[in-house]
Amino acid sequence: KAMLEIVAEHGYAGSSTTLVVARARASRKTFYDHFENCEDCFLAAFEHALDQAAQVMRPAYEREGTWSERIRSALEALLGYLEHDNAIASLLFLEAQTAGPRLQERRAHTVELLQTVIDEGRSQDKADRVPPPLTAQTIVGGVITVIQAHLACPKPTRLMTLLNPLMGVIVYP
């Protein structure tokens, strides 16, 4: 939690072991008993944030319905969650871009999982209208970029206003 708060206030580049230890009211020894370095602590915070988002999205996606209904439900759950917790939204979509190689590897794995979910919808398409293989990669990358842009905006609009436009991008191809 301390890392999440520090990153929300100072960004990943402005975070440090000293700030995290002070915020957590812990000793440096305790910090290093749990984490190798500041990047390791950030990776743990990222994993926690990712798990929280997954706990919100998974039940929404696993409900009964068509693929597009389930995607809409999961996206709506995610956008609502991100609106509710700006610190996690910032960590997942803005600050994680600037972290080290271990986190970039974890991000890439998450993106691949999301692409698999998008590809699931392709399998439901008519054989004469199957989108090209790069469709899922393009869709996931585009959705992430749009969310990032809205979060980075000095006066961001509510993320929930993106639901219908993003659904059009996801489902139309």
pLDDT digits 0-9 by tens, 139-148: 999 999 999 9
Closest CA to 112 of 91, 79, 78, 136: 136
Structure tokens of 70?
A: 């389930």
Neighbours of 146 (CB within 10 A): 15
DSSP state of 123: T
- pTM: predicted TM-score of the whole model, two decimal places: 0.86
Q: By mean pLDDT, which of 26-30, 114-118, 155-159 is the weakest?
A: 155-159
Relative orientation angle of helices 86-93 and 2-10, to the nearest 10 degrees: 80
Q: How many residues belong to the chain?
A: 173
Confidence of residue 128 (pLDDT cuts 50, 70, 90): low
Confidence of residue 129 (pLDDT cuts 50, 70, 90): low
